[in-house]
Amino acid sequence: MSTSRARARRLARRLSALYPEAACELVHSSDLELLVATMLSAQCTDAMVNRVTPALFRRFRRPSDYYGAPLEELELAIRPTGFYHTKARHIRAACQALDERYGGRVPSAMEELLTLPGVARKTAHCVRGNWFGLPAITVDTHVGRLSRRLGLSAHQDPTRVEADLRALLPEAEWTAFSHRLIQHGRRVCHARKPDCPRCPLARTCPSAGGFRK
Protein backbone atom coordinates (compact mmCIF):
# COMPACT_ATOMS: atom_id res chain seq x y z
CA MET A 1 0.00 0.00 0.00
CA SER A 2 1.41 3.42 -0.91
CA THR A 3 2.10 6.02 1.75
CA SER A 4 -0.68 8.25 0.42
CA ARG A 5 -3.23 5.44 0.61
CA ALA A 6 -2.12 4.45 4.08
CA ARG A 7 -2.39 8.05 5.26
CA ALA A 8 -5.83 8.46 3.66
CA ARG A 9 -7.07 5.37 5.46
CA ARG A 10 -5.70 6.64 8.76
CA LEU A 11 -7.58 9.88 8.19
CA ALA A 12 -10.70 7.90 7.36
CA ARG A 13 -10.42 5.98 10.63
CA ARG A 14 -9.97 9.18 12.62
CA LEU A 15 -12.94 10.83 10.95
CA SER A 16 -15.00 7.70 11.62
CA ALA A 17 -14.19 7.98 15.31
CA LEU A 18 -14.99 11.69 15.34
CA TYR A 19 -18.24 11.49 13.38
CA PRO A 20 -19.56 7.92 13.64
CA GLU A 21 -23.17 8.95 12.93
CA ALA A 22 -22.48 11.32 10.03
CA ALA A 23 -25.16 11.03 7.35
CA CYS A 24 -27.01 13.03 4.73
CA GLU A 25 -28.68 16.00 6.42
CA LEU A 26 -31.25 16.64 3.70
CA VAL A 27 -34.57 15.46 5.12
CA HIS A 28 -36.35 13.14 2.67
CA SER A 29 -38.57 10.08 2.57
CA SER A 30 -38.36 9.04 -1.09
CA ASP A 31 -35.97 8.95 -4.01
CA LEU A 32 -37.81 11.87 -5.64
CA GLU A 33 -37.63 13.97 -2.48
CA LEU A 34 -33.88 13.38 -2.16
CA LEU A 35 -33.32 14.24 -5.81
CA VAL A 36 -35.25 17.50 -5.51
CA ALA A 37 -33.69 18.42 -2.17
CA THR A 38 -30.19 17.86 -3.54
CA MET A 39 -30.94 20.00 -6.58
CA LEU A 40 -32.17 22.75 -4.25
CA SER A 41 -29.00 22.51 -2.14
CA ALA A 42 -26.82 24.00 -4.88
CA GLN A 43 -25.43 27.30 -3.52
CA CYS A 44 -27.67 26.86 -0.48
CA THR A 45 -27.33 25.37 2.98
CA ASP A 46 -28.96 22.07 3.90
CA ALA A 47 -30.65 23.86 6.80
CA MET A 48 -32.41 26.26 4.46
CA VAL A 49 -33.43 23.45 2.12
CA ASN A 50 -34.90 21.58 5.08
CA ARG A 51 -36.97 24.63 6.00
CA VAL A 52 -38.39 24.81 2.48
CA THR A 53 -39.05 21.17 1.66
CA PRO A 54 -41.77 20.17 4.18
CA ALA A 55 -44.36 22.41 2.51
CA LEU A 56 -42.90 21.69 -0.92
CA PHE A 57 -43.15 17.93 -0.51
CA ARG A 58 -46.71 18.15 0.79
CA ARG A 59 -47.73 20.01 -2.36
CA PHE A 60 -45.57 18.18 -4.91
CA ARG A 61 -45.68 14.41 -4.37
CA ARG A 62 -45.16 12.95 -7.85
CA PRO A 63 -42.99 13.98 -10.79
CA SER A 64 -46.11 15.14 -12.66
CA ASP A 65 -46.95 17.54 -9.82
CA TYR A 66 -43.75 19.45 -10.51
CA TYR A 67 -44.02 19.81 -14.25
CA GLY A 68 -47.80 20.05 -14.25
CA ALA A 69 -47.96 23.05 -11.95
CA PRO A 70 -47.40 26.64 -13.08
CA LEU A 71 -43.71 27.51 -13.11
CA GLU A 72 -44.40 30.56 -10.96
CA GLU A 73 -45.91 28.40 -8.20
CA LEU A 74 -42.82 26.22 -7.98
CA GLU A 75 -40.53 29.24 -8.10
CA LEU A 76 -42.37 30.84 -5.20
CA ALA A 77 -42.17 27.62 -3.17
CA ILE A 78 -38.39 27.29 -3.55
CA ARG A 79 -37.44 30.97 -3.66
CA PRO A 80 -35.59 31.00 -0.28
CA THR A 81 -33.05 28.50 -1.64
CA GLY A 82 -31.75 31.01 -4.19
CA PHE A 83 -31.36 30.77 -7.97
CA TYR A 84 -34.99 29.72 -7.93
CA HIS A 85 -35.69 30.50 -11.60
CA THR A 86 -33.02 28.07 -12.80
CA LYS A 87 -33.74 25.48 -10.12
CA ALA A 88 -37.46 25.46 -10.89
CA ARG A 89 -36.83 24.93 -14.60
CA HIS A 90 -34.37 22.13 -13.94
CA ILE A 91 -36.64 20.38 -11.43
CA ARG A 92 -39.61 20.51 -13.80
CA ALA A 93 -37.55 19.21 -16.72
CA ALA A 94 -35.93 16.47 -14.62
CA CYS A 95 -39.32 15.31 -13.32
CA GLN A 96 -40.75 15.21 -16.82
CA ALA A 97 -37.77 13.12 -17.89
CA LEU A 98 -38.39 10.74 -14.98
CA ASP A 99 -41.93 10.10 -16.21
CA GLU A 100 -41.00 9.86 -19.87
CA ARG A 101 -37.86 7.73 -19.57
CA TYR A 102 -37.89 5.92 -16.23
CA GLY A 103 -41.50 5.23 -15.32
CA GLY A 104 -41.59 7.99 -12.73
CA ARG A 105 -38.77 6.48 -10.65
CA VAL A 106 -35.35 7.94 -10.00
CA PRO A 107 -32.75 5.70 -11.67
CA SER A 108 -29.76 4.41 -9.75
CA ALA A 109 -27.26 4.25 -12.63
CA MET A 110 -24.88 7.18 -12.89
CA GLU A 111 -25.22 7.33 -16.66
CA GLU A 112 -29.00 7.62 -16.39
CA LEU A 113 -28.98 10.15 -13.57
CA LEU A 114 -26.66 12.40 -15.56
CA THR A 115 -29.22 12.54 -18.40
CA LEU A 116 -31.64 14.42 -16.12
CA PRO A 117 -31.63 18.21 -16.59
CA GLY A 118 -29.84 19.99 -13.77
CA VAL A 119 -28.26 16.81 -12.41
CA ALA A 120 -24.45 16.74 -12.32
CA ARG A 121 -22.12 14.32 -10.55
CA LYS A 122 -22.57 15.82 -7.07
CA THR A 123 -26.34 15.36 -7.17
CA ALA A 124 -26.08 11.94 -8.77
CA HIS A 125 -23.62 10.72 -6.13
CA CYS A 126 -25.78 12.06 -3.32
CA VAL A 127 -28.77 10.11 -4.59
CA ARG A 128 -26.77 6.94 -5.31
CA GLY A 129 -25.02 6.92 -1.97
CA ASN A 130 -27.87 7.97 0.30
CA TRP A 131 -30.92 6.39 -1.31
CA PHE A 132 -29.58 3.40 -3.17
CA GLY A 133 -26.71 2.58 -0.80
CA LEU A 134 -24.14 2.53 -3.59
CA PRO A 135 -20.51 3.64 -3.14
CA ALA A 136 -20.46 7.35 -3.87
CA ILE A 137 -18.08 10.24 -3.28
CA THR A 138 -20.07 13.46 -3.18
CA VAL A 139 -17.69 16.36 -3.77
CA ASP A 140 -19.36 19.49 -2.46
CA THR A 141 -17.50 22.64 -1.37
CA HIS A 142 -16.56 21.08 2.00
CA VAL A 143 -15.21 17.85 0.52
CA GLY A 144 -13.23 19.72 -2.10
CA ARG A 145 -11.78 22.20 0.40
CA LEU A 146 -10.82 19.59 3.00
CA SER A 147 -9.37 17.22 0.40
CA ARG A 148 -6.97 19.96 -0.63
CA ARG A 149 -6.15 21.09 2.91
CA LEU A 150 -5.51 17.53 4.06
CA GLY A 151 -3.28 16.83 1.08
CA LEU A 152 -5.58 14.24 -0.48
CA SER A 153 -5.98 16.17 -3.72
CA ALA A 154 -4.34 19.16 -5.37
CA HIS A 155 -7.22 19.86 -7.74
CA GLN A 156 -9.99 22.45 -7.83
CA ASP A 157 -12.15 20.53 -10.30
CA PRO A 158 -14.63 18.36 -8.34
CA THR A 159 -14.36 15.51 -10.84
CA ARG A 160 -10.61 15.31 -10.35
CA VAL A 161 -10.98 15.52 -6.56
CA GLU A 162 -13.44 12.64 -6.80
CA ALA A 163 -10.97 10.61 -8.85
CA ASP A 164 -8.19 11.23 -6.31
CA LEU A 165 -10.36 10.10 -3.40
CA ARG A 166 -11.56 7.05 -5.29
CA ALA A 167 -7.95 6.01 -5.81
CA LEU A 168 -7.07 6.46 -2.13
CA LEU A 169 -9.99 4.79 -0.37
CA PRO A 170 -11.85 1.49 -0.68
CA GLU A 171 -15.35 1.68 -2.15
CA ALA A 172 -16.98 0.67 1.12
CA GLU A 173 -15.79 3.93 2.72
CA TRP A 174 -16.66 6.39 -0.04
CA THR A 175 -20.13 7.49 1.06
CA ALA A 176 -19.39 7.73 4.77
CA PHE A 177 -16.05 9.47 4.16
CA SER A 178 -17.83 12.19 2.18
CA HIS A 179 -20.32 12.78 5.00
CA ARG A 180 -17.54 12.93 7.60
CA LEU A 181 -15.50 15.44 5.63
CA ILE A 182 -18.64 17.57 5.32
CA GLN A 183 -19.24 17.40 9.08
CA HIS A 184 -15.62 18.31 9.82
CA GLY A 185 -15.82 21.20 7.37
CA ARG A 186 -18.94 22.55 9.03
CA ARG A 187 -17.76 22.16 12.62
CA VAL A 188 -14.00 22.74 12.55
CA CYS A 189 -12.31 23.27 9.18
CA HIS A 190 -14.28 26.34 8.16
CA ALA A 191 -13.76 27.96 4.78
CA ARG A 192 -12.55 31.37 5.96
CA LYS A 193 -10.96 30.54 9.29
CA PRO A 194 -10.22 26.88 10.03
CA ASP A 195 -10.02 26.15 13.76
CA CYS A 196 -6.64 24.42 13.60
CA PRO A 197 -5.84 24.74 17.33
CA ARG A 198 -8.70 22.44 18.28
CA CYS A 199 -8.64 20.22 15.20
CA PRO A 200 -7.95 16.54 15.97
CA LEU A 201 -6.44 16.16 12.51
CA ALA A 202 -3.97 19.05 12.79
CA ARG A 203 -0.94 16.84 13.46
CA THR A 204 -1.32 15.14 10.08
CA CYS A 205 -2.67 18.12 8.14
CA PRO A 206 -0.20 19.92 5.84
CA SER A 207 -2.31 23.08 5.94
CA ALA A 208 -1.94 23.21 9.73
CA GLY A 209 1.81 22.66 9.45
CA GLY A 210 1.71 19.23 10.98
CA PHE A 211 1.99 16.82 8.08
CA ARG A 212 3.46 13.55 9.26
CA LYS A 213 3.56 10.42 7.12
Catalytic site residue from 46, 140, 157, 213? 140
Radius of gyration of the CA atoms of the chain, in A: 18
- State yes or no: is 140 an active-site residue: yes
| Separation CA 10–CA 4 (nearest Å) | 10
- State yes or no: is 193 an active-site residue: no
Q: Are 144 and 161 in contact (CB under 8 A)?
A: yes
| Separation CA 126–CA 130 (nearest Å) | 6
**Single-letter amino acid, residue 149:** R
Catalytic site residue from 46, 87, 122, 164? 122
Q: What is the dihedral of CA 29, 31, 34, 39, to 10 degrees?
A: -150
Q: Are 132 and 108 in contact (CB under 8 A)?
A: yes
Which active-site residues does the annotation give? 122, 140
